[in-house]
Amino acid sequence: MPPTCAGSLLSGSLCICINNEFDWDEQTQGYILSAFYWGYVITHLPGGLLAQRFGGKQTLGLGILSTALLTLATPFAARAGANWMIAVRLLEGLGEGTTFPALNQLLAQWVPPLERGRLGSLVFAGNQIGIVVSSTLSGVLLEYYDWPVIFYLFGTLGVLWYVLWLFLCYNDPASHPYISEKEKDYLAETLGGIKRKEHLRVPWMAMATSLPLWALIVGQIGHDWGLFTIQTDLPKYMKSVMKFSIVQNGILSSLPFLVMWFTALGSGVLSDYLLKKKVWTVNTARKAFTTVASVGPALGVILASYAGCNKVAAATLFTVGMAFMGFFYPSLKVNALDLSPNYAGTLMALVNGIGAISGIITPTLIGYLTPNQTMMEWRKVFWVSFVVIIATNIVYVIIGSGEVQPWNEPLAKDKEETVTWNAKSQWQF
C-alpha cells in the first residue's frame, strides 16, 4: 500500500495555501487548531450562568460578535507568527464557549418538550450548514483570491449577523412584543412555567452526584471526539493522503456535514413523532438515537480508512458514516433539557464544556500520530476514534436517562427570589 495516493502538487485545502506563506510543522498546526478549544472550554460555565440569570440573547450575541472581530484579525495574527495565531484562536474559543449554553437557555424558554427533537435539531444542526458553506465557498475563493479574503468575508458576515440578532431575538415569550396572547398561552401551558432566580443557587452537589448527568457528559465526549476529528482534520487527510484538489477538498470535506444536516432534521421529526404517538418513551428515544449517531460514524471512518486510494469509496464512506451523526441532535444534544429545564444553560455549559476537551486532545494527538501524513498513520487515528465513540456510547446507554431529575426544582433563599414566567402574568415575583 502506498503511503499516500497519487495526485497533483496543487492538491490541498486552506492549510496548504497558508503553508505556502508559513512554514508550520504538523505539531505547530495541531497547537493552533487545539488552541480554540482551550478557550472554548473555559467560558462554557460562565456563559451558562450568565445566560441562566440574564437570558441567552446578549450572551450568545456578544460571544459571536467577539469571534467575528477576531476572525477579521486572523490574517494579521498569522503573519505576526505562530504564537500570535495561537493567541487569537484561544480568544476566539473564549467567545464561542458561551454560545451553546446560551442557545440551550433560549430553547428552554421557547420550545415545548414534544417539539425539542425537531426544533433542537434545527437550531443545533445549523452548525453543519455553516461548515458546508464555509468549506465550499473557501475552496472556490482560493481559486481566485489570496487566503486572507476568507477571514475578511466571514468576519464581516458575523458582524452583520450580530446587528440583525439585536433586533430579532428575545430572551423569552414575555419580552417579545409581537407574538399573540394565544401563542403565549400555548407556551405557558406546554412549558409548565420555567423558573429563574434573581440570586441563582445551582444545586452543584446534586449535579455532581447525578449519574444521568455524568452519562450525558461521557456521551458528549465521545461524540465530540468523532466530530472534531472529522471537522478539524478531514481536510488535512483529503489533502495529504487522498490528494484532492483545493476545490474538491472544500466540497468533499463539507459534504458529510450537509448530509448530516438533512438527517438531523429528519431524525428530529421522527423522534418527535415517536414520542407524540407514545411509541417510545423519552428515555428509549434518546438512547436509541444516540446509539445510531455513534455506531454509524464509527464504522464509516474505519471503513473509509481501508478504502485505500479509491477516492469515490472513501468519500462515500465518510459521507454515509457522518450522515448517521445527525441522529445526535434530537437525542444527546437535547438531553440536558430533559434532565433539567430550569438549569438548561448550566447543564449545557457542563456537558458541552467538558466534551469540548476532545477538541483540545484530538488535533494535538493527530499531529503526533501523523508526522509523515501517511495512510497507515491516519488509520491509527480513525481506530482511536472508533474505540472512544463506541465505549462512551455504551456508558451513556447503561446509565443515561431521559427523565427530569429531582434536583431540577430551583433552589432560592426564599420564595420571593424565584421568578416564574407564564403567559397571563408575564414575570411574577
**Domain architecture of the chain: domains with CATH:** 14-428 (1.20.1250.20)
What pLDDT score was predicted for residue 231?
A: 76
Q: What is the pLDDT of residues 146-164, one digit of tens each?
A: 889 999 999 999 999 999 9
Question: Can you give the pLDDT at residue 14?
Answer: 46
The whole-chain average pLDDT of the chain stands at 82
- 44-103 tens-digit pLDDT: 888 888 887 888 888 999 999 999 999 999 999 988 888 999 999 999 999 998 888 888
Cell of 67: 469571534
- Measured torsion, CA atoms of residues 266, 231, 138, 309, in degrees rounded to the nearest 10: -100
**248-285 residue pLDDT tens:** 777 777 788 888 888 988 998 899 899 988 999 999 99
Q: What is the mean pLDDT of residues 292-316?
A: 90
Q: Report percent pLDDT > 90 for the chain.
A: 31
- Collapsing DSSP to helix, strand or coil, 201 comes out as strand
C-alpha cell of residue 79 = 503573519
Asked if residues 52 and 105 have their Cβ atoms less than 8 Å apart, the reply is yes
370 to each of 327, 381, 388, how far by Cα in Å?
A: 30, 8, 18
| Torsion on CA atoms 83, 138, 43, 109, rounded to nearest 10 | 170
Total residues found in the chain within this entry: 429
d(CA 420, CA 344): 15
Nearest to 336 by CA among 221, 217, 208: 217
CB-based contacts of 105: which residues, under 8 Å, 6+ apart?
Answer: 48, 51, 52, 55, 56, 59, 344, 345, 348
Q: What confidence tens digit (pLDDT) does each residue in 120-139 have? A: 778 877 877 887 888 778 87
Place of cell 444527546: 332
pLDDT digits (tens, 9 = 90+) for 189-217: 777 655 544 455 788 899 999 999 999 99
Please state the pTM of the whole predicted model. 0.73
Average pLDDT of the segment spanning 234-247: 76
